[in-house]
Structure 1
Amino acid sequence: MAEGVLFEHAGRVLGVLTALTLQEIQLSLGVKAELENLMNTVSTIQAVILDAEKRSSHNHEIKDWLRKLKDVIHDADDLLDDFSTEVLRLKVMVGDVMTKEIKV
């Protein structure tokens, strides 16, 4: 009887691992493309910023635009920090769940 319970737990762990693996593969494929797009966009923004910084000493509108852009970039950086923290938190939680499932 105990062997049946252990088998069921092992089956549940295997099911969870399979589901997590499939989700991670799907997420990584979608996220990878989005990250590449984001990196290209940021690269373009950097080039525009360099040009704008050179011109900002002569143009108050550009100075204002750069100040606003700086605020947006700080907000984006904070959002990415929050996202990274959440990903790590979820990984820890999944690790805890998997450890508990295996111990049972």
Structure 2
Amino acid sequence: MADAILYGVVQTIIESLGSSTLNRIGSIWGVNDELEKMKNTISTIQAVLEDAEEQQVKNHQVKDWLMKLRDAAFDADDLLSEFTTHVLQQEVMDGHKIVKKLNYCIRFLEIF
């Protein structure tokens, strides 16, 4: 099996790209096509990892490529995590604002 850490990170990215949060935001921002392209690219990378592990023993270029790919995969995973966290924070804040407005309206109606 390919480098377990790298393979796991790539799998996490694929799962993140398929999450309902990213799909919902992708629809709102009109970037679903880009997210799908990214998911396809990551899936291709995952498939190539299987062959690359065997070749890295004999080929130092492949080993170097895997190390660079690992760094890029961690960066991509961090970026997706930050993006998802930001989106969820916005949803919580927006929900909090709505609750405040509802409470204000309820208090206002209680006066009458």
TM-score (norm 1): 0.68
Residues 26 and 34 from structure 1, CA distance in 2 versus in 1: closer, same or farther, beyond 3 angstroms?
closer
Match of 2:87 in 1: 87
**Would the aligned equivalents of 2:56 and 2:63 in 1 still touch at CA under 8 Å?**
yes
Match of 2:100 in 1: 100
1:57 & 1:84 partners in 2: Cα distance?
37
Cα-to-partner distance string for 1:16-43 (whole Å, 9 max, x where unaligned): xxxxxxxx68834723322221111111
Q: Which runs of 5+ in 2 are unaligned?
A: 1-23, 105-112
- Give the 4+ runs in structure 1 shifted more than 4 A: none
2:96 & 2:68 partners in 1: Cα distance?
42
Letter of the structure 1 residue corresponding to residue 79 of structure 2: L
Letter of the structure 2 residue corresponding to residue 65 of structure 1: W
Match of 2:55 in 1: 55
Q: Which runs of 5+ in 1 are unaligned?
A: 1-23
Residues 103 and 41 from structure 1, CA distance in 2 versus in 1: closer, same or farther, beyond 3 angstroms?
same
Higher relative contact order (CA 8 A, sep 6+): 1
1:29 & 1:85 partners in 2: Cα distance?
16
Greater share of helix residues, 1 or 2? 1
**Would the aligned equivalents of 2:26 and 2:35 in 1 still touch at CA under 8 Å?**
no
Residues 25 and 74 from structure 1, CA distance in 2 versus in 1: closer, same or farther, beyond 3 angstroms?
closer
